[in-house]
Structure formats: structure tokens, C-alpha cells
């Protein structure tokens, strides 16, 4: 498990006759995670986790996954199916769950979260943990890699949940995010509080706090961590579980928030959690990229509906010498991005799509030329570009296919679209259109 051998030899296998192993997504010493599809929903991506079926622990794990699958909380990754299987005579357990395109551990190497982002991340985590603890579970593995982006929502992994009071399953490996008592006793909610403290420091400084587990001393929280996060982290990272702060105490320290954040006027814990998680999701999108600026921006209306009406197309340019008439945009469609996601953007997020246009002005193919930092925004831009329509260019009075690039610039106020025609084609030759 967790080796390159599994990656090469298991790819292409079909688990339980239903779940193909399409691509290895990652793993650990005791697990492998592959991309798969849900048979009941054609082409819907999912992730399948495979672990060894070890004796009595196998039954306990299956029962635990089945119990987790019954838990319904919008910010927990959903488990769809669990079961037993074997690959090359190796007995395994599997859990099929929602597919996450990104996680927080992928953004932290590039930059830390801002205090505002960290505050909203923390509020979202606290709401999820409050739900988990009230239902008798402990997460046990909270860390950046388990804070995930599922489509346009941020979710916390669920496959590691265990019943409070059970024996910890950390006997094989422990790390800085794991509470010191794990591996030697029963699981308690206080273990998640420790993980909250380490995760908070890592989110703000790009690394967990310095800590020597064998020295029996508490981790040192750097003075560079801003308040109230420094005090929150320090209170979370007490060696004695009974001395750690509670979820309620952390929430109290967050009032008022360190950086003002716009909130929806509607009340309710679930709505507040969803808003907070959407704000954190922007952390996966805010790595700056400079895009080409070869044409002046064409401002888009601030609509969110994907089928926006077209702006008036500019008059085509005519070249007397070559008999060439340049193409023009006939109908533009803007990406469907929620205003809640826009409100979290700092600066601009740029995605460039290259489109092939046939002689009737329809997009025949669209590909990402520059995907930008987020798969979510890239997916929205690609879907919108497919729906654009054009006035085809003409060469000697005949409409011909053409190529265009469309740069989408996502910002808080709306989306800009900058189209540029790159070439018109006739017969076997290429006629450049400028």
C-alpha cells in the first residue's frame, strides 16, 4: 500500500465490479486513493480509498464507515459506498466518497492565509467540529490536507471519524497535527482542539509550530502569528487535554472578527458555516498570475447567469489589399460564478481559453491555454467559452474558420472577458488576421 507498485499495477482494476481505478490521487503507508466514477451517476467523479483488511480492525472500520455514511452535514465529505474487495489476492477495504479537486495543503506552499481567511476557515471548522462532537464523533485527523475543495464548497474529510471513547487508530504513525495523547488512549474531542491549534498556525505561517514530541514540552507559537489567533493556538496546544480551550471559548475569542468580513443578513448556524467555508475556498484561488494584455479589456456586465446576452459586436475590419474581413464576437457568455465567491477575491484571477470557431461562427473546440490557480474557475471559464458565438472572418468574400483566445478576469465586482482573434484559415494555408 502507498507505493509506486500500487500506482502502476492497480490502475485499471475494477473494484467490486463497479468502481474502476482510473488514476492514483495519493495515499500513505497504509492507504491508496484513486479517482473513480459512480455507476449510478454516469461520469460523476468520486474518490475511492483502499486500506488493508486487517483482522478484527477490518470489521470495526467497515462499521465505522457505514455509520459515517449516515451522517449528513453539508461541510463533511460524503461517503457513498463501503465494502470489501481484493486486488492480486490482497484483501482490502474500500470507501467511495466525494471527489475533492484541491485541499489547503496545496495552497500553503505558495502563500499563507490572510487573517481574514484564517478567521473564516476557523469558524467553518468550529461549526463542523461542533456538529461532529454533538453526534458522538471525534475527527482525529484534522490537518490542511483534510480541508478540501469539493466543486465550489469547502468540506472537511469524514472517513477518519471515530466514535468518542474508542481506542485511537494512531498507533502506526503520528505527526505534529496529532494530539500527544493519541496512540495511547481513548479518543476525546480535546484531540481535535489540539489539531485546530496546529492547523491554525500552519495556515498563517505555512508550517506547523516547532514541537518535539519526546521533550514533553508544549509547542511554541511564533510571535508573528497575529491576535487573536496566537492566544487561541496557545490555548489549543496544551499538553494536558483538560487544560485546552473549548469550541465555545474559541468562538468567543473570535468576537469581534480581527478583519471585518461581509456577512449575509440571514441567520442560522448552517448558513453562517456555508458563508465561512466559501470565503476560505478563495484561498485556493488567490495565487496571482499575470495574463497577456494585448487587447483593451471589454468589461462584462456583472451578471451571474451563464447565458448572458451579447454586447453589440464591433464592425469588422476590412483589408482592401487582401480581401480579408476580420471576425467579430456575436454573442458572449460569462462564467457562472456566485457573488459570494466573488466577494472573497483579492486582485484578479485570470484564465485564458483558446477556441476553434467554424465557418458558421460556432465554437467547435475549446481548450485551456492558461488554467490559472483554480480548477473551479478554469472549469467555469471553459464552459462559458464553449457557448460563445462569432461573426466568422471572410477571405475573398468567403466565410472561413478562425481561432480566438478569450481571457477571463475574475474580480469582486464582476468578470471581464478579453477576446482576441488569432488566425483565420482558408484551404491548406493560414492567413493571419490582426
Each residue of 298-339: pLDDT tens digit? 333 334 433 343 444 455 554 444 567 888 999 999 998 877
Dihedral angle of Cα 43, 58, 105, 337, to the nearest 10 degrees: 30
Contact status, residue 15 vs residue 44, Cβ threshold 8 Å: no
Q: Is residue 213 part of a domain?
A: yes
- Helix, strand counts (H, E) of the chain: 10, 24
What residue ranges in 133-208 does DSSP mark as E strands? 137-138, 147-150, 153-156, 162-163
Last residue of a domain, one of 250, 284, 318: 284
Residues 358 and 320 reside in one and the same domain:
yes
Q: Residue 402: its pLDDT value, please?
A: 93
Residue 22: φ, ψ to 5°: -85, -40
- Collect the ranges in the chain with pLDDT lower than 50: 4-5, 171, 257-279, 282-283, 285-313, 318-321, 426-434
pLDDT of residue 406: 94
The answer to whether residues 89 and 143 belong to one domain is no
Number of domains in the chain: 3
Q: Which of 55, 81, 98 is where one domain is finished?
A: 98
Residue 79's domain comprises 4-98
Q: Three cell numbers at 54?
A: 486487517
Residue 312 pLDDT: 45
Q: What is the CATH number of the domain that holds 132?
A: 1.10.510.10
Specify whether 250 is located in the same domain as 323. Answer: no
Instruction: Assess if residue 292 is contained within a domain.
Output: no
pLDDT reported for residue 340: 63
Amino acid at each position: 500500500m502507498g507505493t509506486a507498485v500500487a500506482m502502476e499495477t492497480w490502475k485499471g482494476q475494477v473494484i467490486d465490479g463497479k468502481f474502476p481505478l482510473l488514476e492514483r490521487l495519493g495515499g500513505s503507508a497504509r492507504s491508496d486513493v484513486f479517482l473513480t466514477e459512480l455507476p449510478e451517476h454516469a461520469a460523476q467523479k468520486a474518490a475511492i480509498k483502499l486500506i488493508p483488511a486487517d483482522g478484527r480492525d477490518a470489521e470495526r472500520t467497515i462499521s465505522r464507515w457505514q455509520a459515517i455514511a449516515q451522517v449528513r452535514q453539508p461541510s463533511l465529505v460524503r461517503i457513498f459506498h463501503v465494502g470489501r474487495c481484493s486486488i492480486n489476492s490482497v484483501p482490502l477495504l474500500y470507501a467511495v466518497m466525494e471527489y475533492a479537486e484541491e485541499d489547503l495543503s496545496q495552497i500553503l506552499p505558495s502563500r499563507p492565509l490572510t487573517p481574514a481567511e484564517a478567521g473564516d476557515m476557523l469558524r467553518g471548522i468550529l461549526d463542523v467540529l461542533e456538529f461532529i462532537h454533538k453526534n458522538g464523533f471525534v475527527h482525529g485527523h484534522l490537518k490542511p490536507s483534510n480541508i478540501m475543495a469539493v466543486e465550489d464548497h469547502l468540506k472537511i474529510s469524514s472517513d477518519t471519524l471515530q466514535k468518542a471513547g474508542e481506542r485511537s487508530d494512531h498507533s502506526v504513525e503520528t505527526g505534529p497535527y496529532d494530539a500527544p495523547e493519541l496512540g495511547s488512549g481513548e479518543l476525546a474531542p480535546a484531540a481535535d482542539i489540539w489539531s485546530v491549534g496546529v492547523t491554525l498556525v500552519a495556515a498563517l505561517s505555512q508550517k506547523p509550530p516547532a514541537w518535539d514530541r519526546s521533550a514533553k514540552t508544549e509547542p511554541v507559537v511564533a510571535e508573528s502569528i497575529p491576535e487573536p489567533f496566537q492566544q487561541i493556538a496557545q490555548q489549543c496546544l496544551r499538553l494536558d487535554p483538560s487544560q485546552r480551550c473549548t469550541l465555545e471559548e474559541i468562538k468567543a475569542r473570535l468576537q469581534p472578527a480581527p478583519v471585518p468580513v461581509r456577512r449575509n443578513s440571514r441567520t442560522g448556524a448552517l448558513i453562517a458555516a456555508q458563508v465561512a467555508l466559501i470565503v476560505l475556498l478563495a484561498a485556493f484561488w488567490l495565487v496571482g498570475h499575470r495574463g497577456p494584455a494585448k487587447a483593451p479589456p471589454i468589461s462584462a456586465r456583472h451578471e451571474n447567469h451563464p447565458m448572458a446576452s451579447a454586447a453589440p459586436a464591433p464592425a469588422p475590419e476590412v483589408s482592401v489589399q487582401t480581401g480579408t474581413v476580420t471576425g467579430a464576437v456575436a454573442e458572449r457568455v460569462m462564467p457562472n460564478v456566485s457573488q459570494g465567491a466573488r466577494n472573497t477575491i483579492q486582485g484578479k484571477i485570470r484564465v485564458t481559453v483558446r477556441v476553434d470557431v467554424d465557418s458558421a461562427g460556432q465554437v467547435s473546440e475549446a481548450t485551456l491555454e492558461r488554467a490559472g490557480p483554480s480548477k473551479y474557475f478554469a472549469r467555469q471559464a471553459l464552459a462559458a467559452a464553449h457557448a460563445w458565438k462569432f461573426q466568422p472572418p471572410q477571405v475573398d468574400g468567403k466565410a472561413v474558420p478562425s481561432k480566438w483566445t478569450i481571457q477571463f478576469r475574475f474580480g469582486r465586482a464582476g468578470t471581464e472577458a478579453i477576446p482576441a482573434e488569432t488566425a483565420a484559415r482558408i484551404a491548406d494555408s493560414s492567413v493571419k488576421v490582426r
